[in-house]
Amino acid sequence: MSIRIAVGQGSCGIAAGAAKVFAALEQQLAGSAVSLGTVGCIGMCWLEPIVDLYEDNRLAARLVRICPDDAARIAEAARTGDLSGIAGLTISAEDSRFLEQQTRIALRNCGIIDPNSLESARAAGGYAALEAVLTGKGMTPEEVIACIKVSGLAGRGGAGFPTWFKWNAARQSPGDEKYLICNADEGDPGAFMDRAVIESDPHTLIEGMLIGAYAIGAKEAVVYVRAEYPLAIRRLSHAIDEAKAAGLIGQHILGTDFSCEFRIKAGAGAFVCGEETALIESLEGQRGMPRLKPPFPAAAGYWQKPSNINNVETFANVAWIIQHGGEAFAAMGTEGSKGTKVFALTGKIQRSGLVEIPMGMTLREVIFGIGGGVRDGRQFKAVQLGGPSGGCVPAELLDTVIDYKELSATGAIMGSGGMVVMDDTTCMVSMAKFFLDFTAKESCGKCVHCRIGTKRMQEILDRIVSGDGKPEDLDLLEELCLAVRDGALCGLGQTAPNPVLTALRYFRPEFEAHTAVEKRCPAHACAALLQYEIDAEKCRGCTACARKCPVGAIAGNVRQPHTIDKNQCIRCGACFAACRFDAVSRL
């Protein structure tokens, strides 16, 4: 019996200390026969660092929240095969349910294979689909497109456009020089699906892209990755090198007539480059300002040549579809949305991480079933989908099923997969402002509606959370939102109002409370709208609050109840945090 140890080392695992755990294990295992390896991210981020013990390639134990001090025990268990000593480190049955309720296609190898090893990827079935397409009986490009059409795969970047249609359009476009581009410029704050796939299973992405390149007739493939993802870039370029050395990339792939070169382009920090025409501008070394459509990239894209752009998750599904058939993929999901979708479940959630589920599951099943509901025993308020382009869905719509159309009907969008849970301490006005701060900062500045419109929306929201809002600001905000949605040039601007519009739609009374005469923030989150008071009954006169108050607004003698001078108070909340007797109340 041989035991293999795998340490999950995605960016977030590393941030949680996985590299130190790895180093400690390496030290402890020096000279032993136990093999120690790296895997990517399994997606159970709240349990990081995670160490898996495999017995003959069967998962024998999943150890969670490991620190370097645990290394000796783990090494001992691995050497002896007696796992009893590490029972306490093992994942709980309840936490295990997080994975058990998922259906993993795009993430099928994540956290299981070694992302730095082609061999590991191939052992897990990597490149089998490419072989099936290119060698033996093979498939024509048209057959590949037909298979994708049957699968119902749609763009996972957010828009949900049928993948086969784009492939077909690029295939049909005249010209020899065509490009296949992968959009890995995952910029939505709160989303990290693409990063996890690239860091954990880069070969699945490469394989999907090669099949796509074959289908549209591209001889060159480019991956545009966010510069903020250095580990993903390192692992992907290593994978490309390995694949090239193995004849899977380059000229005459697998000995066939199909040739395709690969390149990585690192982005330089611009959310708008997630918009496909802006991405192309950026690839060409320009300012990432969107182009007018038409012409669409399928007709004139990168260097004005026919180009096809899909996002990481879309490509990550392709090999599976080829191997299992389009029907198998289409068997999952709803009438209009097929297959699975990956979400990055975060925010005020018990179990946050990567979730891949079949379309058609409800939001409630994902948030409360898989995610375990809201943490710290607080009340669920809303879930934000689709980041700055999306919107919030309130509690009463939790039974909405995950489906492009159903989610759009709520005013939110499927998006690329950001799913941020908010509890009753989250102020929806300030959330809307947060997103507008983001889009206003990320606006490329080209079109008037977005450049000035998002700025003005941000200013109005800023006014409201600062207590300077007027009731009529809400109508003005809404009017501006609708105009920007109608008038902006690209997707970024057109969808920028969504977070505000959905918040206004579902939480208007909360906005009204901010703008009413008495100016209140029901979530107690907007500092400028809060009032602090000391309960004389509870106050012991410990002076902790008075000492913390930065402006000396608290008066009182030792062992006597203290008072806050409201005119002097700057509403910083220091007293509230300092009081050990729950005597300071926030209104």
293: phi > 0 → left, psi -120 to 50 → alpha, else beta; which? beta
Residue tagged 């926030």 (tokens):
586
Which range touches other proteins (CB under 8 A), out of 115-123, 142-150, 253-261, 281-289?
281-289
Residue 445 sits in the site that holds other proteins (CB under 8 A): yes
Residue 228 sits in the site that holds other proteins (CB under 8 A): yes
Nearest to other proteins of 101, 323 (CB atom): 101
Using CB under 8 A, which residues numbered 175 to 194 contact other proteins? 186-192
Half-sphere exposure of 188 (CA within 13 A, CB side): 34
Using CB under 8 A, which residues numbered 295 to 324 contact other proteins? 303
Work out the widest C-alpha separation in the chain, in whole angstroms: 90
Residue 269 sits in the site that holds other proteins (CB under 8 A): yes
List b or e across 441-479, with b for residues whose CB sees 16 or more CB atoms inside 10 angstroms.
ebbbebbebbbebbbebbebbebbbebebeeebbeebbe
Pick one of 40, 48, 436, 546: the residue that binds other proteins (CB under 8 A).
48
Q: In what order do the strands lie in the sheet with 51-55?
A: 35-39, 3-8, 51-55, 58-63
Residue 570 sits in the site that holds other proteins (CB under 8 A): no
Least distance to other proteins, CB of residue 421, Å? 8
Using CB under 8 A, which residues numbered 8 to 47 contact other proteins? 11-12, 14-16, 45-46
Pick one of 59, 227, 395, 516: the residue that binds other proteins (CB under 8 A).
227
* CA nearest neighbour of 490 among 540, 530, 453, 542: 453
Residue 446 sits in the site that holds other proteins (CB under 8 A): yes
Nearest to other proteins of 20, 149 (CB atom): 20
Other C-beta atoms within 10 Å of 372: how many? 18
Residue 538 sits in the site that holds other proteins (CB under 8 A): no
Q: What is the torsional sign of CA 96, 100, 106, 110?
A: positive
Rounded Cα distance between 27 and 578, Å, is 44
Using CB under 8 A, which residues numbered 322 to 351 contact other proteins? 344, 346-348
Least distance to other proteins, CB of residue 553, Å? 19
Least distance to other proteins, CB of residue 446, Å? 5
Using CB under 8 A, which residues numbered 349 to 368 contact other proteins? 352-353
Using CB under 8 A, which residues numbered 120 to 159 contact other proteins? none
Nearest to other proteins of 207, 442 (CB atom): 442
Least distance to other proteins, CB of residue 233, Å? 11
Using CB under 8 A, which residues numbered 400 to 439 contact other proteins? 418, 420, 422, 426, 431, 434-435, 438
Residue 576 sits in the site that holds other proteins (CB under 8 A): no
Residue 288 sits in the site that holds other proteins (CB under 8 A): yes
Which range touches other proteins (CB under 8 A), out of 74-82, 101-109, 224-232, 396-404?
224-232
Residue 235 sits in the site that holds other proteins (CB under 8 A): no
Q: What is the DSSP string of 111-177?
A: TTS-TT-HHHHHHTTTTHHHHHHHSTT---HHHHHHHHHHHT-B-TTTT--BHHHHHHHHHHS--S-
Question: In this structure, are residues 371 and 351 in contact, taking their beta carbons and an 8 Å threshold?
Answer: yes
Q: What is the torsional sign of CA 199, 43, 203, 212?
A: negative
Pick one of 162, 250, 467, 487: the residue that binds other proteins (CB under 8 A).
487
Rounded Cα distance between 528 and 465, Å, is 7
Pairing of strands 532-534, 353-358: unpaired
Secondary structure in 3-state letters for 442-502: HCCCCCHHHHCHHHHHHHHHHHHHCCCCCHHHHHHHHHHHHHHHHHCCCHHHHHCCHHHHH
Least distance to other proteins, CB of residue 16, Å? 6
Secondary structure in 3-state letters for 323-347: HHCHHHHHCCECCCCECEEEEEEEE
Least distance to other proteins, CB of residue 473, Å? 10
Nearest to other proteins of 46, 380 (CB atom): 46
Using CB under 8 A, which residues numbered 68 to 87 contact other proteins? none
Rounded Cα distance between 487 and 135, Å, is 49
Using CB under 8 A, which residues numbered 367 to 396 contact other proteins? 384, 387
Nearest to other proteins of 144, 545 (CB atom): 545
Angle CA 85–89–92, to nearest 5: 125
Which range touches other proteins (CB under 8 A), out of 221-229, 249-257, 397-405, 555-563?
221-229
Pick one of 294, 399, 518, 567: the residue that binds other proteins (CB under 8 A).
294
